[in-house]
Amino acid sequence: MQYLSIEEGRKARGLRLVLVAGTPGAWGECIKAVYHVKGLDYRPVAQKMGEPNEDLRDWTGQTSAPVAAYDDERIRISWENMLWQAEQLAPDPPLIPKDAHARARMFGVLRELAGECGLAWDRRLQSIAAAGGPSASPVLARLASKYGYSAAEVETSKLRVSQVLSLCSDLLEAQHAAGSDYYVGRALTALDLYSAVLVAVMVDPLPHALCPMPEAMRAGFTAPFECLKAARPSLLAHRDRIFERHLPLPMDF
């Protein structure tokens, strides 16, 4: 993937997406999946993992990726804002249900996956712990600061991860029994994409040929945390089905 610098991305027009350069940043890969399904063209802009990224702070007021920028519209820095922006830029195919009850169900589970102290957040905490904690390297120290790392919080994360993986498995099994391959109704939604990507990167990572990532990152996400056993075969089968039907492989960073 050919990245613009932060300076180049700031000056460019159209849709730009700040991503963690060269690695599968979980939230970035999720919004990339949304863009792919919607056929949205964008220009990737490089954020450097674990570095100060002061130029990104100067542009967006913070240093994390992903960030979505479109022409002179306000910068989007949260997963929910980026998802709504994508829906507005490319309404077809819809990935947010129009029915309020279905929409509430979808966003409720999405929050458990992508929100603060959700699955992706907690798996990041666990990967830092597996790599030796914040004292192991400056990169881990910066990540630990961003995610509120502590030994107590890592312990708490284990219950939350187990609960969310069980919840997702339960929902998919109930949907399968009702004749659907998707989380909500009978059509693809953003929840399917976020679930498939997060499982593929952070829960049961796809092989290196399909999801290349630095060895240290893969070691962090494959460390044998007991809570990961809550991901039942239905959740892994859903990951594989969504990639087979809707998303390209290998993943490109």
Q: Assess whether pLDDT exceeds 80 at residue 73.
A: yes
Query: Is the same domain home to 128 and 174?
Result: yes
pLDDT at 125: 98
Mean pLDDT of the chain: 97
Q: Do residues 81 and 107 share a domain? A: no
Q: Which of 34, 63, 89 is the last residue of a domain?
A: 89
Last residue of a domain, one of 24, 55, 89: 89
The pLDDT tens digits of the residues spanning 167-195 come to 999 999 999 999 999 999 999 999 999 99
Residue range(s) defining the domain that contains residue 25: 6-89
Q: Where residue 44 sits, what CATH number does that domain have?
A: 3.40.30.10
Assess whether 108 and 47 both reside in one domain: no
Same domain, 22 and 59: yes
Render pLDDT for 76-129 as a digit per residue (tens, 0 to 9).
999 999 999 999 999 999 999 999 999 999 999 999 999 999 999 999 999 999
CA distance linking residue 216 with residue 100, whole number of Å: 42
pLDDT in the model for residue 51? 83
pLDDT at 52 exceeding the cut of 90: no
Per-residue model confidence as pLDDT tens digits over 144-153: 999 999 999 9
160 and 128 within one domain: yes
- pLDDT attached to residue 213: 94
Residue 226's pLDDT band (cuts 50, 70, 90): very high
242 shares its domain with 152: yes
Question: Does 50 score more than 80 pLDDT?
Answer: no
**Per-residue model confidence as pLDDT tens digits over 9-25:** 999 999 999 999 999 99
pLDDT of res. 160: 98
pTM of the predicted protein model? 0.97
| CA 29 – CA 125 distance, rounded (Å) | 18
Best CA proximity match to 146, nearest among 50, 69, 227: 50
Same domain? For 141 and 216 the reply is yes
Residue 122 lies in a domain: yes
